[in-house]
Amino acid sequence: MISAIVEKKQERGMLVGLDRGEKDFEESLKELDQLASSAGGVIIEKHIQKLPFPTAPYFIGKGKALEFAAICKQKELSFVLFNEELSPIQCRNLNTLFGCKVLDRTQLILDIFAQRAKTREGKLQIELAQLLYLLPRLTRLWTHLSRQTGGIGTRGPGETQLEVDRRRIQERIHRLKKELEEVKKTRFIQRKRRQKFPWPTACLVGYTNAGKSTLFNRLTHSHVLVEDKLFATLDPTIRLFEFSGGQKIFLSDTVGFIQKLPYHLIESFKATLEEVKEADLLIHLVDASHPLAENQINEVNKVLEQIGAINKPIILVWNKIDLVHSDGLVNRRMEEYPGCVPISAATGEGCENLLVKIEEWLKTKRRFFSLKLPMDRTDIVAKLHRMGSGIVTNYQSDGIWVNGWIPHSMFSSLEQFNITVEG
Ligand SMILES: Nc1nc2c(ncn2[C@@H]2O[C@H](COP(=O)(O)OP(=O)(O)OP(=O)(O)O)[C@@H](O)[C@H]2O)c(=O)[nH]1
Ligand SMILES: [Mg+2]
């Protein structure tokens, strides 16, 4: 397992950024700082090196690396965090120079996920992601050793520790993948069970820290963990939500996304991300107060595309409007993103409008009906209760009067009972 940044609480570290002149460089460093604190570390030194490209052996050049290493030793820091992915060689060289843990952004994200994973599914997925990340590094870093001992008999007792480790890791990856197949089957069965109910599923998606769990808790009166930390939520939670008019929907809160989400994470978290992929509606929350809100929308869309969920119906929600002190900005965003809904999940402002929007979408799936059934057709009453929502029955002398919401697909089988449909 990759060494975790947090072996004890609040480790102190240095953040090193390679500035290649990108326009969002400052913001991306801020995000890295947030990631470090989400992992339980605290950045007490921040250093920047301006270079158009990283240098092969030391990423930031040997001179700067020596300079930063001295500060690191003087301040007794326990980790150094780099803003880009390091090659195995850079990692080893920097490690020798700094004499403490050297981490890159990917490792840090994997580390946070490892800390957050509580369910068996989450734990299996993160272990797989970590091993997939580790494997090529182990190989490339140590090939010189395998070559030294190469030749006849290298597969037998004379094989290097590396090869033993590598084989063990491969075996573990294989086992994890098999176990995850089982997890996926369980999720599939749970989803099938949900599909027996006639209510669609809406999934809250968005950049990490956008306020998904806050909204989820407000709407479903749940107590999912809400924190001003990145990736507070890892495992999905699903609850049934009932609208005042009787319509119902399954609402699911799940893991947030981030720019440059490590490839292995997306690959490994397929079981979790399946909830997004299989949802009928996506509610995409954006932190309206974030300076890079629009970039974050693009990043979320990229992940949705990667997992094959971009073509689903999406309601775009600008959250945290209580933190936006310019009406002009909210109005501009309303114009630029027609159909979006501004809300504050924290104060509840605008949440009613969001519910109206979701109900409008539901109406495209279901219609309000009323009909009169013969007294002996209680089988149909039972079916309507099973398949519909907000079903009201009224036993009169001339028959059973029923109204409520049903999926479009049911209308044809009820035509013989003079069904009337609204909207
Ligand atoms: N001011 C304000 N803060 C909010 C609002 N919604 C959420 N927050 C805060 O934003 C932070 C993140 O909220 P979460 O609900 O945990 O965000 P999330 O999208 O679930 O985050 P992850 O699970 O980490 O992806 C918390 O500190 C919330 O209190 C809002 O409408 N206004
Ligand atoms: Mg959350």
Q: What pLDDT is attached to residue 98?
A: 92
Confidence check: pLDDT of 302 > 70: yes
Averaged over 49-67, what is the pLDDT?
A: 93
Confidence check: pLDDT of 143 > 60: no
Q: What pLDDT is attached to residue 142?
A: 45
Confidence check: pLDDT of 339 > 50: yes
Q: Which residues sit with Cβ closer than 5 angstroms to ligand 2, an ion?
A: 212-213, 232-233
Contact 345, 211 (CB under 8 A): yes
Residue 363 — very low, low, confident or very high, per pLDDT cuts 50/70/90? confident
Contact 95, 115 (CB under 8 A): no
* DSSP 3-state of 240: strand
Q: Is residue 4 domain-resident?
A: no
Averaged over 60-81, what is the pLDDT?
A: 94
Confidence check: pLDDT of 104 > 50: yes
Would you say how long the chain is, in residues? 423
Q: What pLDDT is attached to residue 260?
A: 84
Averaged over 291-317, what is the pLDDT?
A: 93
Those residues whose C-beta lies under 8 Å from the C-beta of residue 394, and which sit 6 or more positions away, are: 400, 401, 402
**Which numbered ligand comes closest to the C-alpha of 210?**
1
Confidence check: pLDDT of 152 > 80: no
Averaged over 35-45, what is the pLDDT?
A: 92
Q: How far is CA 212 from CA 118, 245, 263, 284, 337, in A?
A: 19, 24, 23, 9, 19
Q: What pLDDT is attached to residue 154?
A: 40
Confidence check: pLDDT of 341 > 80: yes
Write the residue with the smallest CA distance to atom 11 of ligand 1. Answer: 228
Q: Residue 291 gets which letter from DSSP?
A: T
**Is 321 found in the same domain as 184?**
no
Tokens of 230: 């990145």
Q: What pLDDT is attached to residue 251?
A: 96
Those residues whose C-beta lies under 8 Å from the C-beta of residue 369, and which sit 6 or more positions away, are: 403, 404, 405, 406, 411, 414, 419, 420, 421, 422
Confidence check: pLDDT of 204 > 50: yes
Stronger pLDDT, 287 or 245, i.e. the higher one: 287
Domain that holds residue 413: 366-422
Residue 133 — very low, low, confident or very high, per pLDDT cuts 50/70/90? confident
Ligand 1 atom nearest 323 alpha carbon: 1
384 vs 402: CA distance, rounded Å: 9
Q: What pLDDT is attached to residue 35?
A: 93
Question: Which of 226, 255, 297 has most ligand 1 atoms within 8 Å of its beta carbon, as the pocket-test mutant?
Answer: 226
Confidence check: pLDDT of 261 > 90: no
Q: Is residue 2 domain-resident?
A: no
Question: What percent of the chain stands above pLDDT 70?
Answer: 92
Q: Is residue 3 domain-resident?
A: no
Among residues 83, 113, 143, the one where a domain terminates is 113
Q: What pLDDT is attached to residue 270?
A: 83
**Is 220 found in the same domain as 137?**
no
Ligand 1 atom nearest 214 alpha carbon: 15
Q: Report the chain's mean pLDDT, rounded to a whole number.
A: 87
Task: Work out the widest C-alpha separation in the chain, in whole angstroms.
Answer: 94
Among residues 86, 113, 140, the one where a domain terminates is 113
Residue 174 — very low, low, confident or very high, per pLDDT cuts 50/70/90? very high
**Which numbered ligand comes closest to the C-alpha of 343?**
1
Those residues whose C-beta lies under 8 Å from the C-beta of residue 51, and which sit 6 or more positions away, are: 18, 19, 20, 60, 61
Q: Residue 55 gets which letter from DSSP?
A: B
Q: Is residue 154 domain-resident?
A: yes
292 vs 288: CA distance, rounded Å: 9
pLDDT (tens digit per residue) in 365-391: 888 899 999 999 999 999 888 888 778
**Is 209 found in the same domain as 136?**
no
Q: Is residue 5 domain-resident?
A: no
C-alpha 239 to ligand 2 mean position (Å): 14
Stronger pLDDT, 67 or 412, i.e. the higher one: 67
Query: E-assigned strands of 65-170?
Result: 79-82, 101-104
Q: Is residue 268 domain-resident?
A: yes
Stronger pLDDT, 190 or 207, i.e. the higher one: 207
**Is 127 found in the same domain as 100?**
no
Q: Is 331 annotated as a binding residue?
A: no
Ligand 1 atom nearest 343 alpha carbon: 31
Among residues 62, 85, 113, the one where a domain terminates is 113
- Locus of tokens 């992992």: 39
Q: How many domains does the chain have?
A: 4
Confidence check: pLDDT of 181 > 70: yes
**Is 359 found in the same domain as 371?**
no
Q: Is 255 annotated as a binding residue?
A: yes
Q: What pLDDT is attached to residue 80?
A: 94
Provide the β-strand partners of residue 227.
none
Q: Which residues of 215-249 are buried (b: 16+ CB within 10 A; e: fewer)?
A: bbbbbbeeebebeebbbbbbbbbbbebebeeebbb
